Structure 1
């Protein structure tokens, strides 16, 4: 985050030759985050700096101007994120990616699409819209290597999964990502109106922007990555591209209806054996 001793922590990590430093916030287009980016970049110009999250052209421009070497894009697209519903803020992820890519076009700063990936085709679409890479949460949350607890429910295996904006995660330190952890935040101001009475009152003052849940168990990570990479390769083949720059140049997007979306999925049959790369919820 961009609070407290962030600069000291960044300098300490730089001493250990980290590859990249990240200033990660639910809302990266703020004075606090931009000031932090300038401070870190001025003190540690030799270390690549990732700044996010943003969801607009102006937000991407501001983070790049502040010194970001990469911009993380996404306001509320994650499967366990409730930001758009709780706050009313956010835009569809494909739009956010395209706007950020437009802002970064002349600078060459890479765009990282954070969230909203449900199928391998979503990766292909994100890259086609201008992303250099994607961040994936829920798909990887179900693999063997993920830290979530394995749960047996109605004869099927699942793994526990929670968002950084969930109440449990915020109580354990992620609240600053949502500007609810510092002395000058809304949460602290609200505390003046309530009597402190232990952890329950402290939790009651937090405003979560995510949930806790479970995702289907998916086996080894290597198998999942194989399916995702294969889907992206096939998508590029359909467009007639052999490279990512070529995909971003040739790809075209069209608006479809609800009926078109239904037609795109498996329909009018009962699935008797699940494919390793497709689930219909």
Structure 2
């Protein structure tokens, strides 16, 4: 349908439209709550959800929106592995304790470490020995000026003997004090036998103060949803997304009142 210019008789800008103020008993904006529910078990500080469109929501949008109190829905128009990777980026972006941080073996090269750091947008990697015990820590600043990319990370990392670490069960206040006192950014958390239990970073502590309204799960990780369809690989896609702790699945279909949508939800 085409509309002729003559039919547009009035043009308005933002300055032409005002909301007429009326009487209110709300004495402060602090008394107003915009908290709402995305689902039965997911609360949000603001009622904003980003669309599951390939031009709208991937990990960067989902991270930004969750930090502000909303939630993003990662679109499904990409291979399953890629959608899973986008969800993982959100879940790994911050947390109280990163329970499964990125790790490498000591015999990996500086080139491989740099590739991992760039791929996951992280500042450092915990180095584990063959028995999965912490051997050291290699950070971006340890290797970003290294010219020989074939050098083993064991030669440039900070070894365990020089690392500041904490035992599993350390409180957030204790971890914060260790980070502050020793002027470090990453605190590996160890089991009694030296195996890696997790990682606490100063960046995550700062983010908690910077974004107090963030939509987070019980582990302090940002929440994220992901879309699935109703045909083809939708069940396989759903299973893989749940494996990386996606917080919600959104059935993406043009007509939600169709039998396909209902059957998918039941399944």
Question: TM > 0.5 between the two?
Answer: no
> Which band: TM-score by shorter chain?
under 0.3
Flag the structure with more relative contact order, 1 or 2, with Cα contacts below 8 A and sequence separation at least 6.
2
Of Structure 1 and Structure 2, which has the larger fraction of its residues in strand?
Answer: 2
Largest Rg, 1 or 2: 2
Of Structure 1 and Structure 2, which has the larger fraction of its residues in helix?
Answer: 1
